[in-house]
């Protein structure tokens, strides 16, 4: 199928509505006092193998687990760090020691006290060894000292910038109970799917294919909270069924673009709902493509560049994303005020250039018009991931590349890509978490343990990039860090081990009965302790 056969859509209305966050909540609801009780019903679009964010970082894990398990710190409404289980922090001048003071009087859901021993165990045994993204981040964490139950001292062999660690801990600093995990195989511990935390809601049950339930924690450390009695995540894998449940008000929120884009656009015109990127500023993301360097054709940079030049990303954004996104510029998006250095799109759509690069690389068209065949494995966390894979299939056919789309569920796709390395291309979402060292550079740093999702499992290695990643991550001077990341962007954009095709901010659909929602920069992944539902 050629681009001329696609019907273009008018997306200005949807873009404008989404951009301003729709109308203000009704005055009647806004003036009410918070209501205690009630149930928040949430759309969950996929089954989860793990619910504990101290063990696995991922969108679905956060949407559920962050209400049950808490991090040391989080982001506030203004995107600045706010205390959660940690109340204060201080770095030594050399960046080799960072001390956290911990909140007193906090209890685990099983009644045991929360102490620095839990932080020490989580950091050394979970964050450093098994938690994706964090394994690389905590590479130089040597020890966590616990001089008393409310003090944890992180000791590094290379400097750790305080700002980097704090931003990372919002996503990669959830604390698990030592007494539940110690002495067990942490990846097979039953608490991974029935988490025990310190959060405002206590895990009750997970009925596969149906729902996950958490109920109010009566001993929550924030006095008077939570307002809600219960949170129920309804597992609805069909996007149309999810939209029907939202429209019927059986589900009050569908977070993080988990319905069809057409339904999101349609519901944005219904005054009962707020359809907005508000409260998702700390969870921006890209549609990305990973290239498996073990495949001969893809080990040639000319082929990788040709593939990127062959894809009309703006057309995909306009016609399939309803205008919700921009063309990607590389691993650091334009809206990163601390790290973006002015990079432009290095590979604009140019089919003629793609054809020329493929010819130059030694892959001419055969008698049937085809050059070679490869596959792509989309990680189906949302509709657009499979859509983008199909769009690439159609686009690459125009330049003589036969692309097979391998459709699997999330678990199967992750295993095939990161455990088995059985893929040519892979596409999914990459989260930019405020600082490149939190998650972005993990994609490029060699040496990741096999099987770690969303890490460098595609057989690419660069000494220069590895050194830059390490140097930038542990550079204490913010200006020098930004300069180092600028050099890193130039190198990886030139060699293209991963292509950041788009840059986007998540959009959530929320019933206006829900109050105090999206009032922090990563609200979908927050605890919802002060959220309530109006009658």
* Same domain for 229 and 166: no
- 406 phi/psi in degrees, rounded to 5: -95, 110
Task: Compute the distance between CA of residue 172 and CA of residue 58 in angstroms, rounded to an integer.
Answer: 10
Residues sharing a CB contact under 8 Å with residue 30, sequence separation 6 or more, in sequence order? 24, 515
**C-alpha gyration radius of the chain:** 23
* Assigned domain for 253 exists: yes
Pairing relationship of beta strands 86-91 and 508-511 according to DSSP bridges = unpaired
Q: pLDDT value at position 452? A: 83
| Predicted pLDDT at 284 | 87
Distance CA 26, CA 469 (A): 48
Q: Can you tell me which residue has the tokens 């890193």?
A: 488
pTM, rounded to two decimals: 0.80
- Verify that 289 and 367 share a domain, yes or no: yes
End residue of a domain, out of 148, 181, 214: 181
Q: How many other C-beta atoms are found inside a 10 Å radius of the C-beta of residue 483? A: 14
Residue 15 lies in a domain: no
Are residues 499 and 398 both part of a single domain? Answer: yes
User: Quick one: 289 and 406 in the same domain?
Assistant: yes
The closest alpha carbon to 347, from 461, 499, 504, belongs to 499
For residues 452 and 350, membership in a common domain is answered with yes
Give the separation between CA 244 and CA 106, rounded to whole angstroms: 40
CATH number of residue 419's parent domain: 3.10.105.10
My answer on whether 217 and 363 are in the same domain is no
Residue 47 lies in a domain: yes
Q: Are residues 136 and 161 in the same domain?
A: yes
Are 434 and 505 spatial neighbours (Cβ–Cβ below 8 Å)? no
CA distances from 93 to 96, 125, 137, 160, 161 (A): 8, 27, 20, 11, 10
Whether residues 232 and 348 fall in one domain: no
Burial class (CB in 10 A: 0-12, 13-18, 19+), 93: exposed
Q: Which two tokens stand for residue 371?
A: 């050059």
Same domain flag for 445 and 321? yes
CATH code of the domain covering residue 167: 3.90.76.10
Other Cβ atoms less than 10 A from the Cβ of 437: the count is 28
Q: Which two structure tokens, joined as six digits, stand for 3?
A: 């681009």
pLDDT of residue 256: 82
My answer on whether 105 and 151 are in the same domain is yes
Residue 139 lies in a domain: yes
Looking at the structure of the chain, the number of domains it has is 3
Question: Is 192 a member of any domain?
Answer: no
* Residue numbers of the domain that contains 129: 69-181
Q: How many other CB atoms are there within 10 angstroms of residue 232's CB atom?
A: 18
pLDDT at position 529 is: 98
| Residue 339 contacts residue 161 (beta carbons within 8 Å) | no
Residue 148 falls within a domain, yes or no?
A: yes
Report pLDDT for 264. 94
Residue of 350, 312, 281, 244 whose CA lies nearest to 80: 281
Q: Same domain for 495 and 392? A: yes
Q: What is the pLDDT along the chain (535 residues), one digit of tens a residue?
A: 333 332 333 222 233 334 333 333 433 444 579 999 999 999 999 899 999 999 999 889 999 999 999 999 999 998 899 999 999 999 999 999 999 999 999 999 999 999 999 999 999 999 999 998 898 889 899 999 999 999 999 999 999 999 999 999 999 999 999 999 999 999 999 999 999 999 999 999 999 999 999 999 999 999 999 999 999 999 999 989 999 999 999 999 999 888 889 999 999 999 999 999 999 988 789 999 999 999 999 999 999 999 999 999 999 999 999 988 999 999 999 988 889 999 999 999 999 999 999 999 999 999 999 999 999 999 987 789 999 999 999 999 999 999 999 999 988 999 999 999 999 999 999 989 889 988 889 889 999 889 988 889 999 999 999 999 989 988 999 999 999 999 999 999 999 999 999 999 989 999 999 999 999 999 999 999 999 999 8
Torsion sign over Cα 383, 385, 390, 391: positive
Is 190 within the bounds of a domain? no
- The token pair that represents 336 in the structure block: 């990163």
Burial 170-180 (b: 16+ CB within 10 A, else e): bbbbbbbbbeb
CATH of the domain at 260: 3.40.190.10
Tokens of 486: 């600028």
Looking at the DSSP bridge assignments, the partners of residue 43 are 234
- CA 257 → CA 325, 383, 508, distances in Å? 12, 8, 6
Domain assignment present for residue 390? The answer is yes
Residue 18: enclosing H or E segment and its boundaries?
helix 12-20
- Closest of 511, 446, 435, 445 to residue 475, by C-alpha: 435
| CA distance to 2, 41, 106, 216, per residue, from 251 (Å) | 39, 5, 32, 19
Q: Identify the burial level of 299 via C-beta atoms within 10 angstroms of its C-beta, where 0-12 means exposed, 13-18 middle and 19 or more buried.
A: middle
Q: 146 with 245, same domain? A: no
Tokens at 155, concatenated: 């000791």
User: Does the bond joining 49 to the residue before it have cis omega, within 30 degrees of 0?
Assistant: no
């Amino acid at each position: 199928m050629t681009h001329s056969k696609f019907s273009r859509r008018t997306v200005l209305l949807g873009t404008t509505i989404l951009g301003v966050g729709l109308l203000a909540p009704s005055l009647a609801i806004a003036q009410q006092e918070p209501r205690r009780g009630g149930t928040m019903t949430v759309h969950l679009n996929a089954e989860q193998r793990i619910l504990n964010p101290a063990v696995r970082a991922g969108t679905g894990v956060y949407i559920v687990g962050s209400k049950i398990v808490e991090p040391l710190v989080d982001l506030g409404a203004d995107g600045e760090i706010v205390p959660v289980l940690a109340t204060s922090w201080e770095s030594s001048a050399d960046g080799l020691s960072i001390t956290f003071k911990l909140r007193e009087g906090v209890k685990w859901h099983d009644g045991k006290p929360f102490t620095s021993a839990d932080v020490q165990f989580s950091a050394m045994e979970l964050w450093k060894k098994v938690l994706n993204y964090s394994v690389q981040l905590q590479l130089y964490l040597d020890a966590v000292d616990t001089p008393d139950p409310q003090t944890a001292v992180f000791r590094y062999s290379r400097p750790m910038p305080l700002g980097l660690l704090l931003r990372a801990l919002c996503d990669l600093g959830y604390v698990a109970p030592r007494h539940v995990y110690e002495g067990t195989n942490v990846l097979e511990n039953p608490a991974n799917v029935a988490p025990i935390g310190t959060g405002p809601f206590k895990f009750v049950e997970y009925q596969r294919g149906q729902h996950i339930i958490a109920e109010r924690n009566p001993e929550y450390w924030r006095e008077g909270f939570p307002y809600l009695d219960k949170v129920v995540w309804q597992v609805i894998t069909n996007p149309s069924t999810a939209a029907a449940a939202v429209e019927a008000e059986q589900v009050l929120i569908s977070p993080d673009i988990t319905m069809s884009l057409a339904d999101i656009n349609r519901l944005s015109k219904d005054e009962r709902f707020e359809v907005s990127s508000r409260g998702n500023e700390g969870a921006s993301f890209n549609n990305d493509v990973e290239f498996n360097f073990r495949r001969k054709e893809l080990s040639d940079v000319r082929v990788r560049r040709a593939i990127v030049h062959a894809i009309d990303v703006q057309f995909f954004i306009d016609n399939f994303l309803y205008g919700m996104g921009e063309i990607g510029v590389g691993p650091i998006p334009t809206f990163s005020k601390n790290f973006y250095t002015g990079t432009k799109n290095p590979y604009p759509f140019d089919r003629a250039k793609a054809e020329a690069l493929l010819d130059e690389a030694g892959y001419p068209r055969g008698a049937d018009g085809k050059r070679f065949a490869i596959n792509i494995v989309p990680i189906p966390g949302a509709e657009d991931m499979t859509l983008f894979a199909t769009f690439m299939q159609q686009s690459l056919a125009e330049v003589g590349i036969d692309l097979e789309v391998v459709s699997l569920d999330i678990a199967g796709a992750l295993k095939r890509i990161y455990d088995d390395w059985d893929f040519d291309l892979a596409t999914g979402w990459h989260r930019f978490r405020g600082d490149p060292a939190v998650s972005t550079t993990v994609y490029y740093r060699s040496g990741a343990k096999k099987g770690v999702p969303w890490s460098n499992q595609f057989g690419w290695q660069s000494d220069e990039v590895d050194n830059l990643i390490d140097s930038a991550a542990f550079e204490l001077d913010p200006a020098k860090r930004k300069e180092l990341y600028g050099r890193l962007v130039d190198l990886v954009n030139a060699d293209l081990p991963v292509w950041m095709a788009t840059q986007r901010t998540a959009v959530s659909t929320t019933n206006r009965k829900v109050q105090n929602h999206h009032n922090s920069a990563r609200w979908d992944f927050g605890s919802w302790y002060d959220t309530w539902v109006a009658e």
